Structure 1
Amino acid sequence: FCTPGQIEAEIDGVLDLTFDLLGAFGFEDFTLTLSTRPEKAVGSDDQWDLAEKSLKNTLDARGLEFEVEEGGGAFYGPKIDLNIRDAIGRSWQCTTVQFDFNLPERFGLSYIGEDGAEHQPLMVHRVIFGSLERFMGILIEHYGGAFPVWLAPVQATIIPISDRHLEYAKSVNDRLLAVGIRVETNDGNERMNAKIRGAQLQKIPYMLIVGDREIEADAVGVRLRSGEDLGALSLPDIINRIHSESENKAL
């Protein structure tokens, strides 16, 4: 809720939040649409004119390109729609910045202005991601299931070369869990190469191989899901690497 003098700053703040959050997930390609008053609408002409002008001014001030959809607004207010493009160029409707002239009237809302009189506030509501389930679907499509480390449900899987290495594998598992890394140990009966292949198919970012040499050095052999072999890393080194990628939201 805001006064007429506050609405452009409010819209600008919503766009800041939108670009920050979507950018963190790797979405940098956007299209914008400004939708204006439909034939049937609530609210006064002055409210619609002010709201449409404020939305346009905010987009112009940022130097953003946008299309105007005449008559495409909701009956209760104009809006900005933001579509994101995924890794293969598909467009998904995501963020909406929307005026609502209906609810302040229905709820009888008012504030005391600088002139000492009562005024009805303007209402701006926002939807950044749409529904959580839909946005998760967009993320899965965008990354093809190969989530960056900070988003991956399992960040690392530990693969013992043989059964005699299982105890050390579980020790490494516990040490990584203790510092907040999402890790699992593959203690199945498959051969090591089959376990590595399975982890790649599951698109787990890190495969940590443990055998005699790793036990002796208190280390792990590190493979990436891309197939790259990083060789042996000490536990502090692999912990720091995963933490750094997570904290920096590396993509």
Structure 2
Amino acid sequence: MDKSVPLKEDTIDHRKIGKKLKFFIFSDRVGSGLPLWLPRGTIFRKSLEEFLTDIQRKSGYEMVVTPHIGHKKLYVRSGHWSKYGKDNFKPIQTPREEEFLLKPMNCPHHCEIYRSQEWSYRDLPKRFAEFGTVYRYEQSGELHGLTRVRCFTQDDAHIFCTYDQLLEEFKRVINLVFYVFRCLGFSEYTVRISLRDTKKIDNYIGSEKNWKKAEEAILRVVKEEKIKTSLNYGEAAFYGPKLDFIIKDSLGRSWQLGTIQVDYNLPERFDLYYKGKNNEKCRPVMIHRAPFGSLERIIAIIIEHSRGNLPFWLAPNQVVILPISDKYIIYAKKILNLILNYDIRVFVDSRNEKINKKIRDSEDNKIPYMIILGEKEEKNEMISLRRHGLGHIGTFPISKGIEAIFNETNLKTKTIIN
């Protein structure tokens, strides 16, 4: 792209692109900052979930599911009630005069999952992962599309490990974050250590001893891994310091995505333990991590980074079949059924429209492949292929054409810019 040509605002604004491509909407009746995911956007979102779920499964994570609400006493124990303050939604009152909160974080629920059974040092580490939706009452002036919302889904995981396992587990998470960035095509990023503001010590929970151990662990890991970092005081989580990853998109803008946090405090507050080698009760260390940060934010960034030109594996509609007239719909359905066998997202555009309009609409919807079918293709059992942004790329026998498309289905390591 010629960088001397100024981009129109709607070519880089994920809100406008998302609306045009029918990914998501907002409704005043539903409420500000609460996105509604349309079918295409849901496929996009689920594709990212499946991608990360597969990586996590291979890395020893176990998926869990927790409620969208929790009893107020859960968040009093965790510290979210006192430390999040105005960011919490107001408690939900019940007829029995109990109070529940929309969950602001998944970690208290994961602590309860860990606490539900006894563990030995032989069982650790335990890695619990969840695409958990959380709720924060962002001020209306701070809301912005998908990047600042009141309801978002974190690609959350919590690792419960021994002190001796901490450094190795932390390094494994760093490598996972870097791998995800490479797969999504983000090659430029910086790493930041976020520490406490020692002048506002009341903003945090836990002992000085716990904080020093957590900070020393992060500093040691980045030194051993030779990761260049900067220090950022005042941005630690209220329960522990963290390592933040800031990517740079194709427009040169910086975004915080992945984060890893070391936490000695929540295991104490929830009285978590495991049995050591001598059958003694030992306190685990907890690692919080989220490579995407949230699905909403990563989707907004991907949309703007790619201008909506999603790679084949993320595209909601991967292939559209365009018969040039109704006479070729039966042939189109034959091709459709063959392609469906390859688990490719494909449909037939059977509208009563001119073929040129169908092609224009498919280009506008940024569908990666178009298959054009007419008399010549049906007679010779061929398909004509067009690639979004490239135009006609050839006419092929059915099997070879489908194979050319199928070869893209496993290319998750391609950059997200087509």
Q: TM-score normalized by structure 1?
A: 0.92
Q: What pairs with 1:184-199 in structure 2 (closer than 5 Å)?
A: 184-199=347-362
Q: Which amino acid aligns with 1:154?
A: N
Q: Distance in 1 between matches of 2:271 and 2:396?
A: 64
State the 1:156 CA deviation. 0.9
SS at match of 2:370: strand
State which of 196, 217, 239 in structure 2 corresponds to 1:76: 239
Deviations 1:203-235 (CA, angstroms, capped at 9, x unpaired)? 101111111111122111111111332110122
Q: Distance in 1 between matches of 2:264 and 2:183?
A: 32
Answering whether residue 168 of structure 2 is matched by residue 13 of structure 1, we say no
**Conservation of the 8 A alpha-carbon contact between 1:104 and 1:120:** yes
Where does residue 271 of structure 2 map in the other structure? 108
Where does residue 219 of structure 1 map in the other structure? 382
State the 1:116 CA deviation. 5.6
Where does residue 63 of structure 1 map in the other structure? 226
Q: What pairs with 1:31-50 in structure 2 (closer than 5 Å)?
A: 31-39=190-198, 40=201, 41-50=204-213
Q: Which amino acid aligns with 2:186?
A: F
Q: Distance in 2 between matches of 1:55 and 1:174?
A: 53
State the 1:126 CA deviation. 0.7
SS at match of 1:247: coil
Where does residue 332 of structure 2 map in the other structure? 169
Q: What pairs with 1:84-123 in structure 2 (closer than 5 Å)?
A: 84-114=247-277, 117-123=280-286
Q: Distance in 1 between matches of 2:308 and 2:338?
A: 27
State the 1:114 CA deviation. 4.5
Q: If you compute each CA radius of gyration, which structure gives the higher value, 1 or 2?
A: 1
Deviations 1:97-150 (CA, angstroms, capped at 9, x unpaired)? 012233111111223444664332211111121222222222211211111111
Q: Distance in 1 between matches of 2:224 and 2:397?
A: 51
Where does residue 186 of structure 2 map in the other structure? 27
Q: Distance in 1 between matches of 2:289 and 2:178?
A: 13
Where does residue 401 of structure 2 map in the other structure? 238
SS at match of 2:212: helix
Q: TM-score normalized by structure 2?
A: 0.57
Q: Name the count of aligned residue pairs.
A: 251
**Conservation of the 8 A alpha-carbon contact between 1:165 and 1:211:** yes
State the 1:175 CA deviation. 1.5
SS at match of 1:154: coil
Q: Distance in 2 between matches of 1:30 and 1:230?
A: 35
SS at match of 1:12: helix
Where does residue 162 of structure 2 map in the other structure? 3
Q: Distance in 1 between matches of 2:163 and 2:342?
A: 49
Deviations 1:168-197 (CA, angstroms, capped at 9, x unpaired)? 112111221232111111111221111111
Q: Percent identity?
A: 39
Q: Which amino acid aligns with 1:216?
A: K
Q: Distance in 1 between matches of 2:380 and 2:271?
A: 71
Where does residue 41 of structure 2 map in the other structure? none
Higher alpha-carbon deviation: 241-250 or 109-118: 109-118
Where does residue 287 of structure 2 map in the other structure? 124
Q: Distance in 1 between matches of 2:385 and 2:234?
A: 57
Q: Which amino acid aligns with 2:262?
A: F
SS at match of 2:409: helix
Provide the aligned C-alpha RMSD in A. Answer: 1.8
Where does residue 142 of structure 1 map in the other structure? 305
**Conservation of the 8 A alpha-carbon contact between 2:342 and 2:406:** no
**Conservation of the 8 A alpha-carbon contact between 2:163 and 2:285:** yes
State the 1:155 CA deviation. 0.8
SS at match of 2:372: strand
Higher alpha-carbon deviation: 126-135 or 204-213: 126-135
Q: Distance in 1 between matches of 2:186 and 2:345?
A: 24
Gaps of 5+ in 2: 1-159
Q: Distance in 1 between matches of 2:401 and 2:310?
A: 18
